[in-house]
Amino acid sequence: MAVAAQAQSIEEQRKWEGSLDQLRGLVSERAMTGETMLLNMGPHHPSTHGVLRLLLELDGEEIVTCLPDIGFLHTGIEKSLEDKSYEKALPLTDRMDYLSPMSNNMAYSCAVEKLLDLDVPERGQIIRVICLELARCASHLVWLGTHAIDMGAMSVLLYAFRERERVLGMFEMLSGQRMMSSYIRPGGVWRDVPVEFLPTIKQFLHDFPAKVDDYEALLTQNPIWKDRAQGVGVVEPDVALAHGMTGPALRGSGVNWDLRKAQPYSGYETYDFNVPLGEHGDVYDRYLIRIQEFRESMKILNQAVARLETVKGPYRSENRKYVPPLRSELGQSMEAVIHHFKLWTYGYDAPDDEIYSAIESPRGEIGCYIHGTGANKPRRVHFKTPSFIHISALPVMSSGYLLADMVAIIGSVDIVLGDCDR
Which window, 8-16, 75-83, 206-214, 289-297, contacts other proteins (CB under 8 A)? 75-83
User: Which helix (H) or strand (E) is 364 found in, with range?
Assistant: strand 364-371
> Which of 118, 388, 411, 416 lies at the binding interface for other proteins (CB under 8 A)?
388
371 forms part of the interface with other proteins (CB under 8 A): yes
| 177 is an interface residue for other proteins by CB under 8 A | no
Peptide bond into 43 cis (omega under 30): yes
* In the complex, least distance from residue 352 CB atom to other proteins, rounded to whole angstroms: 6
Instruction: Give whichever of 177 and 373 is closer to other proteins, judged by the CB atom.
Output: 373
Mask 231-260, x = binds other proteins (CB under 8 A)?
----------xxxx----------x-x---
Work out how close the CB of 371 gets to other proteins at its nearest, in angstroms, rounded to a whole number.
5
Separation between Cα atoms, residue 386 and residue 360, nearest integer Å: 10
Q: Which run of H or E residues covers position 340?
A: helix 334-345
Q: Are 401 and 62 in contact (CB under 8 A)?
A: yes
Q: How far is the CB of 23 from other proteins (least distance, A)?
A: 9
Question: Could you say whether residue 80 binds other proteins (CB under 8 A)?
Answer: yes
Q: Residue 218 and residue 231: Cα distance in Å, rounded?
A: 20
User: Looking at residue 164, what DSSP letter applies?
Assistant: H
For residue 37, the SS3 value is: strand
The answer to whether 379 contacts other proteins (rule: CB under 8 A) is yes
- Using the minimum distance from each CB to other proteins, give the nearer residue, 341 or 356: 356
Name the segment binding other proteins (CB under 8 A); options: 288-296, 298-306, 316-324, 363-371: 363-371
Among 62, 82, 318, 329, binds other proteins (CB under 8 A): 82
- Taking CA atoms, 201 is separated from 20, 164, 196, 230, in Å, by 56, 13, 9, 35
255-264: b or e for each residue (b if 16 or more CB lie within 10 Å)?
bebbbbeeee
At closest approach, how far in Å is the CB of 231 from other proteins?
23
Beta carbon of residue 83, minimum distance to other proteins (angstroms, whole number): 5
Complex with other proteins: residue 155 or 319, whichever CB lies closer: 319
45, 88, 114, 202: residue in contact with other proteins (rule CB under 8 A): 114
Q: Is the Cβ of residue 118 or residue 201 nearer to other proteins in the bound state?
A: 118
Answer yes or no whether residue 269 interacts with other proteins by CB under 8 A. Answer: no
Is residue 28 a contact residue for other proteins (CB under 8 A)?
no
User: Which residue of 63, 90, 106, 115 would you call a contact of other proteins, by CB under 8 A?
Assistant: 115
State in angstroms the smallest separation of the CB of 316 from other proteins: 21
Distance from C-alpha of 224 to C-alpha of 219, rounded to nearest angstrom: 9
Longest Cα separation, the chain: 84
Query: Do the strands 354-361 and 364-371 form a parallel or antiparallel pair, or are they unpaired?
Result: antiparallel
Phi and psi torsions of 60, nearest 5°: 65, -120
Q: Who's near 358: CB < 8 A, 6+ residues apart?
A: 107, 259, 263, 365, 366, 367, 368, 384
Selected from 343, 389, 397, 417, the binder of other proteins by CB under 8 A is 389
Q: CA 143, 148, 151 angle in degrees (round to 5)? A: 130
Per-residue burial over 389-421, b if 16 or more Cβ lie within 10 Å, else e, is bbbebbbbbbeebebebbbbbbbbbbbbbbbbb
> Is residue 356 involved in binding other proteins (CB under 8 A)?
yes
Q: How far is CA 320 from CA 43, 46, 313, 323, 339, in A?
A: 48, 48, 16, 5, 7
Q: For other proteins, which residue of 56, 153, 289, 355 counts as binding (CB under 8 A)? A: 355
374 binds other proteins (CB under 8 A): yes
Residues near other proteins (CB under 8 A), total? 47
Nearer to other proteins, 80 or 303 (CB): 80
**Closest distance to other proteins from the beta carbon of 164 (Å):** 29
* Interface positions with other proteins (CB under 8 A): 22, 25-26, 70-71, 74, 76, 78-80, 82-83, 114-115, 117, 241-244, 255, 257, 262-263, 351-356, 358, 365, 367, 369, 371, 373-374, 379-380, 382, 384, 388-389, 391-393, 396, 421
